Amino acid sequence: MLANLALANLITNTNLSQQNAIATQQAMNELQISVTGKVVQMLTTLGPLEARSAVDVLTNNELAQTIADLKATIAAFGNRGDSATDAAS
């Protein structure tokens, strides 16, 4: 009888220990998800300075605008030349 009580006590302690480990792991996972969400929000939310800098970089770049214009011109003349060659053949 004493052996059965000792075994029951051992099983109960093991069960409680495993439940405690699972609860701790779940709490750490929830904390990790929360921290990850905050970091993603911090990285993806632009402040006024970052937003203005992005607008300046994308709109006030004369070299990029010139390159885009040249590419558009080449594409326009390139397409026209291809159709002329297709019509001749």
Instruction: Report, in angstroms and rounded to the nearest whole number, the Rg of the chain calculated over CA atoms.
Output: 34
Same domain, residue pair 38 and 53: no
Q: Which domain holds residue 12?
A: 1-45
Contact between 4 and 11 under an 8 Å Cβ cutoff? The reply is: no
Rounded Cα distance, 41 and 35, in Å: 10
- The whole-number pLDDT of residue 40 equals 92
Specify whether 32 is located in the same domain as 55.
no
Q: Are residues 61 and 29 in the same domain?
A: no
Number of compact structural domains in the chain: 2
pLDDT in tens, 12-43: 999 999 999 999 999 999 999 999 999 999 88
pLDDT in tens, 46-66: 787 777 777 777 777 787 788
For residues 43 and 40, give the distance between their C-alpha atoms in angstroms, rounded to a whole number. 5
Q: Taking the complete model, does pTM exceed 0.75, yes or no? A: no
56/87 same-domain check: yes
Judge if 66 and 52 occupy the same domain.
yes
Round to whole Å and give the CA distance between 88 and 16.
Answer: 86
